[in-house]
Amino acid sequence: MMCYCRLFVLLALSSFVVESRHLKGNSYELSNFHPSGTNATIEPKIWAVLVAGSNGFVNYRHQADICHAYQILKNGGLEDENIIVFMYDDIAFDVENLRPGVIINKPDGDNVYKGVPKDYTGEDVNVDNLLAAILGNKTGVRGGSGKVVESGPNDHIFIYYADHGGAGILGMPSGVDLTAKDLMNTLKKKHAAKSYKSMVIYVEACESGSIFEGLLPKNMNIYAITAANANESSWGTYCPGEFPSPPSDLDTCLGDLFSISWMEDSDIHDLRKETLDQQYQLVRRRTAVDDMVGASHVMQYGNKTIAKQFVFNYMGANPKNDYYSPSSSDDSSLTTTPSIVSQHDATLLHFWNKFRNAPEGSPKKTEAHKQLMDELSLRKHIDESVNQIISVVFGQEKVPEMLNTVQSAGNPLVHDWDCFKMLVNSFKRLCGSTSRYEMKYSRAFANMCNAGVHINNATQAITQACSTSSPP
């Protein structure tokens, strides 16, 4: 009788351990299990926050990136209750999407939109909700699913952001943009609350290094990777007319180079055996910064010892990749760099291809031509407005200095973040656009604040410049 009891207990424990493999992010590793129930320890949960900071079909690639990331986490074993998704959700069924309900992140890719949670969409994708969600502040979110990061001191957190950026800011489709200082203050509060063990942040945006440069301490157990350093563009890829191109019915870029590099790596590698540093090195090489004119430098910030950990700790691992071999034929694609387009120019490329492909003399041709001309006119207006703002406040002779001054490495972008926040968000509100072209000038506003500009004078100059001869 005793033998049967022992056999039953062993079978039960075996079943429990096997089942723990499928707990999907709630407890991805089991240790110190005691049948008596005393001193039982379940290893940390993985929490993830995925943020697409743009809207509009022209920015298709950002939501495609986020949807792809969700599929990796889901295949890696995370539950939806541990994945919080911020995306405007306006491209899957946009009239320009001839594949309703389908979003792809590479030319021959699967539908990454399927099953993605709609936690925060539309106007609910905003700074206040994002920061409240990271902090685990349920009373601080307005609208959406109300889901927040309810992490504990042993948990791991993964945050991934994809969108347009500028020096010191990350774009958001609703309300104000997110400044580096506001993000950093939130991370410091999260750390002070002892509500995570370690955190990894991936940021896809132009000048994304400026979000952490001189700001992210090494003692907060946070490791950040950015698509670019503090002074350069990041890059769209799988764009119309480039190689490889999207399907002919999609006149827009499907992804971003940094993002598709780490995700296509995660799609096939056994993340239980690949470290964060190994993934960083692969992504850095794939951006081919040494071989491509204008390419960006993928950067690391914060506690770099975290890079020695396995990617699995933050994204889970797809069991289908357990037998991955470096000699696999799929691996060759990870060393090939596709053609790239500057984030600032992806919108122009979209409108140009719409115009080029529309039938001659058709209403579509006329509409596409108008969209292209409107975008060019808007860009000219923004260029002239910034020049006028600086000239009014500092004098014409100071324009080159305000536009081109760059902080030395290791120093934060700006000293007075309140001044910077006021100016960049005033400029967004009065001169902004879906293409977010205006974000390329955030450094100029940082330099104005560093030069001691009077905020009232600057905001008055912004109001006057943006309202003068504004484009249609």
- The residues annotated as belonging to the active site are 164, 206
Give the residues across from 302 on adjacent strands.
223
Torsion over CA: 181, 185, 187, 188 (sign): positive
Rounded CA gap, 376 and 372, in Å? Answer: 6
Amino acid identity, position 48: A
Contact, 47 vs 119, CB < 8 A? no
Burial track 374-393 (b if 16+ CB lie within 10 A, e otherwise): ebeebbebbeebbbbbbbbb
- Under DSSP, the state recorded for 123 is G
**What's the gap between Cα 444 and its chain centre?**
23
- Dmax (CA) for the chain in angstroms is 95
Residue 351 to residue 109: CA distance in whole angstroms: 23
Are the C-beta atoms of residues 252 and 61 closer than 8 Å to each other? yes
Do the Cβ atoms of 424 and 453 come closer than 8 Å? no
Q: What are the residues facing 250 on neighbouring strands?
A: none
238 vs 341: CA distance, rounded Å: 9
Contact assessment for residue 234 and residue 259, using Cβ atoms and an 8 Å cutoff? no
Q: How far is CA 75 from CA 84, 266, 319, 471, in A?
A: 15, 10, 8, 46
Q: Measuring CA to CA, how many Å separate 351 from each of 234, 259, 472?
A: 20, 23, 16
Separation between Cα atoms, residue 334 and residue 387, nearest integer Å? 42
Q: What secondary structure letter does DSSP report for 45? A: P
Q: Do residues 198 and 156 touch, judged by C-beta distance below 8 A? A: yes
Q: Which of helix, strand or coil describes residue 269? A: coil
How much is the CA Rg of the chain, to the nearest whole Å?
24
Residue 158, helix vs strand vs coil:
strand
Cα separation, 388 vs 380, whole angstroms: 12
Which SS3 state, helix, strand or coil, does residue 301 take?
A: strand
- One-letter amino acid identity for 371? Q
- Specify whether the CB–CB gap between 72 and 263 falls below 8 A: yes
